[in-house]
Each structure stands twice: as structure tokens, then as C-alpha cells.
Amino acid sequence: MIRHKIAALIALCSIGQVLAAAPGASSLRTVAEQSGNKRTGRYEEVERLCPAFQQQWPQQVRCFEFGRTPEGRPMLALAASADGVLDPAAAHRAGRPIVLMQGGIHAGEIDGKDAGFLALRQMLEGALAKDALKTATLVFVPVLNVDGHERFGRWNRPNQVGPEEMGWRVTSQNLNLNRDYVKAEAPEMQAMLRLLGEWDPILYVDLHVTDGAKFEHDISYSVSPTLAGRQPIRQAGVALRDELMKRATDKGSLPVDFYPSFIRDDDPSTGFAVSVGPKRFSQEYWASRNRLGVLVETHSWKDYPTRVRITHHTIISLMEMAARDGKQWLAAAQAADREASTLGGTTVALTYQNTPHFKTIDFRGYEYERVPSAVSGALLTRYNDKRPQIWRIPLRDEVTPDITVTAPRGGYLIPASHARMVGDKLTLHGIEFRTLAQAQTDSEVEVFRASKAQPAGSTFEGRSVFSVDGNWNKEKQDIAAGALFVPIAQPKAELAMVLLEPRDPDSLVSWGYFAAAFERKEYMEAYVAEEVAEQMLKQDPALRREFERRLEDPKFAADPSARLDFFYKRHSSWDERYNLYPVFRVANAPR
């Protein structure tokens, strides 16, 4: 605690020193702006500009640190409001819409930092979006992946045109922050989740640069929720997306409203598909909290001046829309919160898949050919970006629920043995829960026993991910004091289900946090199992008949271990907790 206080004092002193030294408004131009967007500045520029903005507009801007990276760098944000509403409590009391925009979650994709500083300065000067900050409060995080930003180099993104040097995609711990929203392992993500929880922005904007094929389209907008989610906020998302597309088109851009990744990699003829992604992604995560999320992806083959300009237009458009429509968005979010609180007993989709339906679209690409490669031996795509070409290709434009589950009527119980780990995650996500002070005996619960639990062949984002099959069934369990109860009747019910339903791809089970529950620990020696089996066969004619039926299966008959396990699993020494997921569901709130 003392170390953290000292670090905070040092950070405040550093900001104060910059404030004292910062000159006038002309010093607020970024390296990118000064170089004609050929270069981008190092992180020291953010450390200089953040307090300098506060000094220039002390009543309208607050520069603050909201976390520290693993390598000890400050994570800085700017809050901006024309009437001085610069803290979350005041903004919420005033009923103001809050917009949080971040750059550099993938630090090589740094358009958002440079476009954001320019747009913020122009809004404060009254040059653009003149009245936006009178109505809406902006929280701007120039760089989320700060350590990655400082891993600077010319070839960090070989399929991106500019700037001359840029940062690295992942953090110093080699974690991709835009896969970390649910498991929240990275210190940077934990800091961001606390920031999001504190400010609760109605609109969360994540500024990126996409990889992929060569084509003329220069930006894509993935807005959530539009294809799934609670209806009130979903309607707001559709309206936001449609207007954002129109505004970008009016500014001379060629936007698309889906993520432009081919169905089959490197083959344009296969077309594209709309999707509802897992909640590990920024905009999908924020949608699961009944708010609006926008993933902005400029196209990597456009030069840096073009990409910064387009990102800048997007920021200004979104702030103008937030100023005009933010109150309606807040009302829609409140209605969605109320709807989410009534999910108990209803069918909820955990994942979605595309239907066979598609429409043929005119997509502005380039002339290309698919030829055998002398290097890889595969078919490669060669583009001629001097010859634009309209691609008539399919867009799979419908989704349908894939994995579904009936939400518990009461909520979830986390036994005391796992309460600390799960409780820490729930707290980070702002999910409501309470601790049971008294033990519960013979409680009727639903339990999930895995019929199959399989770790992946390799790690993903540093974790041994799991897939499980199984079903919820009623049993009686003793619940020790110290267990956690997570009510389903709460605004973040959907996010609670993401974490706690074992078959969700972003559940704590899927991320391997409960791996030990699916490991067999106790065993019976083979010679003991033989004796036990013989005794059981003598004592139980029905068991003998069942065993004989199983022997009709050649695979079972040829497997000595499976034959012995047939008896072991029916013996009183069998571990009844093996493959038992240590989270239960209840129909009613416990005492």
C-alpha cells in the first residue's frame, strides 16, 4: 500500500512539473501533426500532452492516471467536458452521456492516439463539434497498451502503410488485450475494467487498424449490439451504425458495417460474414453490459495520413451523435438493464452462427489472381492495386443462436472453495453477488457434470483452454458458509452467464480456471479393482446383465481399463466430485 501511495505521489509530481513547464496551445500539436502524419510520437508525448491539455483548459480537462503497466509505465486518460463535469459521480448525477474512446489496445495500430489528440483539441477550441462537450463528457485513453507502444520499430506491422515506426501488438507479458475482456488477466485490462466500471460510458469506442486483403474500402464499423442483445439498446445500436455509415460516406470514405475478413483466408471469392463475436472482444463485451460498443478499423493498406483523417472524422461524428442522442441512448440502456434483470427461466443464446442465407454484394476490391506459390506451395493471392475492380461476392448476412441455455431462475452458487477466485472476477466486472454467512444442508441445486472435458492441444493467451460437454441436472448438495450467491435478477445477468455457464467460449471453465475439477485424482489399483468387480458381479445380478450388454461393444470389450472403470464408477469409493463443475445453479435465492 505504501509503495502504491509513493508511486501515486511521484505521478502527481510529474504531472505537476509538466503543467508548470507547459507552454501555450501551439505546443499541443502531436509529432504526427507536425510531421504531416508520417511519424507518431513515443509515449513520453502522451505524458507531456495529457497534463498540458489540463493546463490549457483547467476547467474543461482533467488528466489522470488510472493504472500502471507491468513495466511500471503510467496509464493516462483525459476527461473533457465544457462545463467542468470531469468526474464520473458528477457526470452520473447530471445524467450526462459519457463516451470513452481508446487508442492503442494494439499499439502498432496507433491511429486513434494521433486522431484523438487532434479531435479533442479542436473540440476544446470550438473548431469542430462545437457543442458536443457541453452535453457529453469524453474520456480519452490515448494508448491502452503502453508497454507494447514502447516496443517501437519500423517493421512491427509489415502489412501496414505507416507511420514510419510504431509499437507492438501485444503487451510486455505477450498478452493480446483485445482477447482479455472477460478473463481479465493483464494488469492493463484490470485497470481498464475498473475505469469502465467507474465511468460506465454509454458509448465505448475502440480504435484499431485492420489487417487483411487489399481493397478500396478504407474503414469498417462493427457496432454492438445490432444482431443480438436486449431490444432497446439493440435498436439504438442499429441507428448509430446506420448514421455512422452515412456520415463516413458523406466525408468521402468507403465504409463497411462488418468486419472484412474472408470466410476462407486469402480467398476473396468466398466473401464475408456478419457475426456476433465472443465477449472477449471490446465492443462485444461492452454490449453484454447493455451499452453501445464500436470497433473502428481503418484499413492497413491506406497510408497513415489517410487513416488518421478517417479516424478523426469518426471521432467527431460519434461525439456529435452522442451530444444529440446520448440521452436517448441512456434511456435505452436503462430499459435494457431492466429487461436483463428478468432473464431467469428464459432461453439465452451463448453463441451464434451464420445461417445459410447470403446476399451478393458489390465490394470495391482490386484485380487479383490466385496462382501457385513457389515458396509455400499453396495458392497465393496477388493484387494489382493499380486496377480497381468490383467484386460480386457473398455476404452471409444472418445469424441464429447456436449454443443456448435456460437461465437459472434464482442464480448461481459458488462454493467457498472457489469463492475468492470467482469473487475477484465478479468484482472486476461489476457483477452483483453476496456471501452466505450460514451453511446450507441438502440444498436442491442444479449441477453440471461434464460428460467430456478436453483441454486444447496448445495454450491460447497464456492459458490452457478447455471445452466441456454436459448438462445441468438437479441434485442435493451441502453448501458451506462463505459461498457466493450471484443473483440472476440484475442488469449484468448476461455477463454473469458468460462467466459462469461452462459451455460459453469465454466462461471461466473455457479459460481453464476450473481445470482441476476435470482431473482424476484418486484411483483403484487394478488388482484391487479386479477383486471388487468380482464381488459386485456376485452380489448384483442386474449389474452383471448390464456388464454383459456392454461387452457386446467390441471397443469396450477390448479395453481393460474401461472394463474395470465400469465397476469403479459404481463403487462407493468413486470420487463423486470428478468432472463436477464447482458452480451450482439455484431456483431461489438462498437464505
Q: Are residues 437 and 542 part of one domain?
A: no
Residue 22 has pLDDT above 80, yes or no: no
Band (pLDDT 50/70/90 cuts) for residue 522 is confident
Examine the domain organization and report whether 208 and 143 are in the same domain: yes
Q: Rounded to an integer, what is the distance from CA 270 to the centroid of its chain? A: 27
Q: Tell me the residue range of the domain where 365 lies.
A: 354-401
Residues 357-378 pLDDT 10s: 999 999 999 999 999 999 999 9
What's residue 2's pLDDT? 41
Distance CA 33, CA 46 (A): 14
Q: Which three cell numbers stand for residue 170?
A: 501485444
Contact 430, 496 (CB under 8 A): no
| Segment 442-453, tens digit of pLDDT | 999 999 999 999
- The answer, yes or no, to whether residue 521 has pLDDT greater than 80, is yes
Quick one: pLDDT at residue 304? 98
Taking Cα atoms as reference points, which of 392, 176, 157 lies closest to residue 268? 392
How far, in Å, CA of 227 to CA of 243, rounded? 17
Residue 170 lies in a domain: yes
Over the range 160-184, which residues count as b (16 or more CB within 10 Å of their CB) and which as e? bebbeebbbbbbbeebbbbbbbbbb
Are 235 and 369 in the same domain? no
Domain co-membership, 313 together with 451: no
Last residue of one domain, picked from the residues 312, 337, 362:
337
Q: Look at residue 581 and tell me if it is in a domain.
A: no
Q: How far apart are CA 449 and CA 576, in angstroms?
A: 10
Question: Same domain, yes or no, for 253 and 292?
Answer: yes
Residue 139 lies in a domain: yes
State which of 364, 379, 401 marks the end of a domain: 401
Q: How far is 189 from 496, CA to CA, in rounded Å?
A: 18
Domain count, the chain: 4
Q: Which pLDDT score is estimated for 24?
A: 54
Largest CA distance in the chain: 94
Residue 149 maps to a domain: yes
pLDDT tier at 20, thresholds 50, 70, 90: very low
Those residues whose C-beta lies under 8 Å from the C-beta of residue 208, and which sit 6 or more positions away, are: 105, 106, 109, 111, 112, 178, 295, 296, 297, 298
For residue 75, what are the β-bridge partners? 67
Q: Compute the half-sphere exposure of residue 509: CA atoms within 13 Å on the CB side of its CA.
A: 26
pLDDT band of residue 59 (cuts 50, 70, 90) is very high
- Looking at the fold, whether 143 and 272 belong to one and the same domain comes out as yes
Cell of 282: 471490446
- 137 within a domain of the structure (yes/no): yes
Q: Under 8 Å CB-to-CB from 136, ≥6 apart: which residues? A: 81, 96, 97, 98, 99, 319, 322, 323, 326
- Is the pLDDT reported for residue 234 higher than 70? yes
CATH number, domain of 186, equals 3.40.630.10
Q: What is the pLDDT of residue 8?
A: 44
Whether 583 shows a pLDDT value over 90: the answer reads yes
Residue type, 575: D
Q: How wide is the angle at C-alpha 326 spanned by C-alphas 321 and 329, nearest 5°?
A: 115
Half-sphere exposure of 220 (CA within 13 A, CB side): 20
pLDDT (tens digit per residue) in 260-282: 999 999 999 999 999 999 999 99
Q: Quote the pLDDT of residue 416.
A: 97
> Which DSSP letter does residue 408 get?
P
Helix 187-199 to helix 419-429 angle, to the nearest 10 degrees? 50
Residues 367 and 439 in one domain: no
From the list 278, 107, 106, 294, the residue with the least C-alpha distance to 182 is 278
Rounded CA separation 78/95 (Å): 20
Do the Cβ atoms of 209 and 161 come closer than 8 Å? no
Q: In whole angstroms, what is the distance from residue 360 CA to residue 272 CA?
A: 10
Q: Within 94-131, where are the H helices?
A: 111-125
How far apart are alpha carbons 8 and 6 in whole angstroms?
5
Mean pLDDT, the chain, as a whole number?
Answer: 94
494 falls in which pLDDT band (50, 70, 90)? very high
- Whether the per-residue pLDDT at 23 is higher than 50: the answer is no
Q: Which three three-digit cell numbers place residue 581? A: 463443475
Tell me the C-alpha distance between 250 and 268, whole Å: 27
Closest CA to 262 of 210, 314, 206, 209: 210
Do residues 177 and 60 touch, judged by C-beta distance below 8 A? no
Which tens digits make up the pLDDT trace of 149-185?
999 999 999 999 999 999 999 999 999 999 999 999 9
Contacts of 144 (CB under 8 A, 6+ apart): 75, 102, 103, 104, 105, 177, 188, 192
Residues 102 and 52 in one domain: yes
Query: What is the C-alpha separation between 400 and 281, in angstroms, rounded?
Result: 19
Q: Mind listing the pLDDT tens digit for each residue in 330-357?
A: 999 999 999 999 999 999 999 999 999 9
Do the domain assignments include residue 573? no
Q: Determine the pLDDT at residue 25.
A: 59
User: Mind listing the pLDDT tens digit for each residue in 387-437?
Assistant: 999 999 999 999 999 999 999 999 999 999 999 999 999 999 999 999 999
Note the residue count of the chain: 591
462 and 532, same domain (yes or no)? no
Amino acid in the structure at residue 436: L
554: preceding bond cis by omega (within 30 degrees): no
Distances in Å between the Cα of 25 and the Cα atoms of 29, 41, 582 are 8, 18, 58
**Where are any strands of DSSP class E within 96-162?**
98-102, 137-141
Query: Which band of pLDDT confidence, cut at 50, 70 and 90, is reported for residue 211?
Result: confident
Percent of the chain exceeding pLDDT 90 equals 91
184 and 120 assigned to the same domain: yes
- DSSP conformation class of 417: G
Q: Which residue has the higher pLDDT, 408 or 570?
A: 408
DSSP string, 445-467: EEEEEEEEEEE-SS-BTTB--EE
- With beta carbons less than 8 A apart as the criterion, state whether 24 and 41 touch: no
Does the CA dihedral 533-537-543-547 come out positive or negative? positive
> Has residue 578 been placed in a domain?
no
The reply to whether 292 and 316 lie within a common domain is yes
Does residue 576 belong to any structural domain of this protein?
Answer: no
Say how far apart CA 424 and CA 446 lie, in whole Å: 23
Co-location of 538 and 428 in the same domain: no
Per-residue confidence band for 212, with pLDDT thresholds at 50, 70 and 90:
confident
Asked whether residue 4 carries a pLDDT value surpassing 80, the answer given is: no
- Give the rounded distance of the alpha carbon of 492 from its chain centre: 15
